[in-house]
Amino acid sequence: MSKKNVYIVEDMAVTRAAIASVLKDKEYCICGSAVTAEKAWIEIQELPVDIVILDLNLKGNKNGLWLAKKIRKSVDCAIVFLTAYGSDGILSQIYKTNPNGYIMKPFNNPTLLSTVKLALQNYKRNPTKSTDPSAIQYKYIRSQTGLIKISSDTILYLKSDGNYVRIFNQDNSCITTRNKLTTVLEQLSFDNVYRVHRRYAINAHKITSITARSVTLGPTAIPLSKSYQGAVLKEKFLKQSNAIK
């Protein structure tokens, strides 16, 4: 697999060098860096960039939000925000730029690496031109490594394990968040995600078969409980099957 090209926008030299060093050790290619949004914007348009690691507050007249908006309009790459500020106001501004990841300062190397990896995976899974974007929903979930973007199109199922919920995606990636399943489902509020058991919820669009006691998503069988959405899912699945015939 070819190396992924990373562009770093960070006005602190020590942090910028640390990020570059960690990523180079994992065979990422640092294709460029800048301390201002203006300089970064000029270079990003000309370079083969796969992902931009972007500090929110930068030197110069423009900040990271300005640059993220520019990138989203005309550059095909993933974005990970890097900031020491985590207020609701700041987060709401960041969300509007549709980022693929978010890292809070100070951070450790495993957090940086896992966030960059997931951001690239999530961006790769974004819908192509043949997919209707209006049918895809996106939400953010706070995981052990920071805020992670979740897609209603790529999620397979959710599994509750005590105070944690594991979110399994169709590319075999898994995201863990500390919360109850009920709370996570409320946060996601995806139209195609149904709770089918006290410990499980599934993406109805990924169903391959249904029995009296289980629902199958490809090779994975999930227990089905009548007390949740079992009857509703069976009815929908039967209608879809009849329509195909």
Which structural domain range is residue 52 located in? 5-124
State the 10-residue block means of pLDDT for the chain, 245 residues long: 88 94 94 94 91 92 92 89 75 80 87 90 54 63 80 91 92 89 88 88 85 83 78 55 40
pLDDT of 112 reads 93
Quick one: 233 and 198 in the same domain?
A: yes
- Answer whether residue 202 is part of any domain: yes
> In the structure encoding, which two tokens stand for residue 24, read together?
């180079």
pLDDT of 242 reads 44
pLDDT of 127 reads 41
**Domain of 55: which CATH number?**
3.40.50.2300
pLDDT of 232 reads 56
Quick one: 9 and 48 in the same domain?
A: yes
3-state secondary structure of 96: coil
- Residue ending a domain, among 109, 124, 139, is 124
> Which helix (H) or strand (E) segment is 85 a member of?
none
- Answer whether residue 133 is part of any domain: no
pLDDT of 138 reads 79
Quick one: 159 and 211 in the same domain?
A: yes
Kindly provide the residue ranges of all beta strands, DSSP E only, lying in the chain, ordered along the sequence.
Answer: 5-9, 29-34, 51-55, 78-83, 101-104, 138-143, 146-151, 155-161, 164-169, 174-178, 193-195, 200-203, 209-210, 214-217, 220-223
pLDDT of 132 reads 44
Give the separation between CA 236 and CA 143, rounded to whole angstroms: 32
Its pTM surpasses 0.95: no
Query: How many independent structural domains does the chain possess?
Result: 2
> In the structure encoding, which two tokens stand for residue 244, read together?
């195909």
Quick one: 103 and 167 in the same domain?
A: no
3-state secondary structure of 4: coil
- Answer whether residue 187 is part of any domain: yes
Give the separation between CA 39 and CA 16, rounded to whole angstroms: 15
Quick one: 13 and 105 in the same domain?
A: yes
Quick one: 11 and 68 in the same domain?
A: yes
Give the separation between CA 22 and CA 211, rounded to whole angstroms: 48
Quick one: 105 and 34 in the same domain?
A: yes
The count of other CB atoms within 10 Å of the CB of residue 130 is 5
Quick one: 118 and 166 in the same domain?
A: no
| % helix, strand, coil for the chain, step of 5 | 35, 30, 35
- Residue ending a domain, among 108, 124, 140, is 124
- Answer whether residue 183 is part of any domain: yes
pLDDT of 135 reads 57
- Answer whether residue 225 is part of any domain: yes
Quick one: 117 and 169 in the same domain?
A: no
- Answer whether residue 51 is part of any domain: yes
